[in-house]
Amino acid sequence: MAFPSAITDIIATTIQNRSGVIADNVTKNNALLTYIKRSGNVKKFRGGNVILQELSFAENSNASWYSGYETLPVAASDVISAASYNIKQAAVPVTISGLEQLQNASKEAIIDLLEARIQVAEATLANMIGAGIYADGTGYAGKEIDGLRQQVIATPTNTVGGIDRNASIGAFWKNQVFDISDSGTGALSSSNILTYMNTLWAKQVRGNDRPNLVVMDNAAWGFFMGALQAVQRFTNTTDANSGFVTLKYMDADVVLDGGISTNHVAASTTYMLNTKYLHYRPHADRDAVALSPGKRYAVNQDAEVSILAWAGNLTASNLSLQGIMQP
């Protein structure tokens, strides 16, 4: 029998009061999510059994040159469709035992204890989502986010958002690739990384559309740094203020998404991304909030639990303007 008290109400209320802060910290914890948010593509959804991401897959076939009174084609032109993404869910339980309640009997002591645990839960959720943004969607038996390792890959012939990229109609949905082993003149190094990046960049420019974010692992970042040290290093103070030290390639920001004990990006891999067409889609009612009901008692333990939960996915509206460079 659980120890009866209102402690779980305090947990749930505290999480609810901090839900906006927690959700904001989730996006700030990841460079890609930060840029997606800056592009205005953090869009919550409501209802439905999937997340639909509208996209344009063709030009209007009625477009034509004409002269004088010549009739113009006005037939229906189906150019808008939608990718369909499954809703992925994540949860971090925050618990407190009956003994801890007795040891922290005053309201102030309980709040201090809970605040520390909620901060840990917040960081854990942020790290889970941050890792999920780079995942292939197969983790946790297919329950993880459909991240970059599923959507922007070296062999883009898989199905993404319900669209088969191996089918003829799915050609528009394939990301750009520079495979160093096939197209390079040697293994990735400081002497060739800029040439390789130039080649991939050229594949992703469409008028004013071009990559605005380059994400690298430790090895690729090191080679890029080595290539710049012979000339001049460019930093962007705005992004440094957001917690990410960045360099410049063309007019895109280059960010290290590696460091200590972080392997989100595969070894010697570079993502060249246009975040205008990438979208972070949390559910409006499940964006880092406490699940209802607030009171959850363990059946056979003297403990109470409140669950910090999130639901959503990473979606795309154009994958042909995303790119990857790999060994």
Q: How confident is the model at residue 1 (pLDDT cuts 50, 70, 90)?
A: very low
CATH value of 7-57+84-326 in 3.90.1690, 1.10.150, 3.90.320, 3.30.160: 3.90.1690
What value does the mean pLDDT take over residues 194-216? 94
Ranking 43-57, 178-192, 241-255 by mean pLDDT, the lowest is 241-255
Classified as helix, coil or strand, 153 is coil
* Choice among 23-27, 180-184, 205-209, 314-318 with the minimum mean pLDDT: 23-27
Are residues 19 and 288 in contact, defined by beta-carbon separation less than 8 angstroms? yes
pLDDT at 57 over 60: no
Which range among 37-51, 83-97, 257-271 shows the weakest confidence by mean pLDDT?
A: 257-271
Query: What band does 186 get if pLDDT is binned at 50, 70 and 90?
Result: very high
Contact by Cβ (8 Å): 298, 306: no
pLDDT at 197 > cutoff 80: yes
Question: Across the chain, what does the average pLDDT equal?
Answer: 81
Question: Rg of the chain's alpha carbons, rounded to an integer?
Answer: 24
Residue 292 has pLDDT above 80, yes or no: no
**How high is the pLDDT of residue 75?**
64
pLDDT of residue 241 exceeding 60: no
Rounded distance, CA 200 to CA 192, Å? Answer: 13
Q: How far apart are CA 76 and CA 59, in angstroms?
A: 12
Query: In the chain, pLDDT over 70 holds for what percent of residues?
Result: 77
Residue 73: cis peptide before it, omega within 30 degrees of 0: no
Domain coordinates of the chain in residue numbers?
A: 7-57+84-326
DSSP output for 185-254: SSS--TTTHHHHHHHHHHHT-BTTB---EEEE-HHHHHHHHHHHHTS---B-HHHHHTT--EEEETTEEE
8 A C-beta contact, residue 321 and residue 204: yes
Average pLDDT, stretch 193-199?
95
- Listed range (77-81, 121-125, 152-156, 278-282) with the worst mean pLDDT: 77-81
Residues in the chain: 327
Nearest-angstrom CA–CA distance, 155 and 177: 8
Query: pTM of the entire structure?
Result: 0.82
CA atoms within 13 A on the CB side of 24: 6
Q: Residues of 223-259 as b/e, b for ≥16 C-beta within 10 angstroms? A: bbbebbeeeeeeebeebeebebebbebeebbbbbbbe
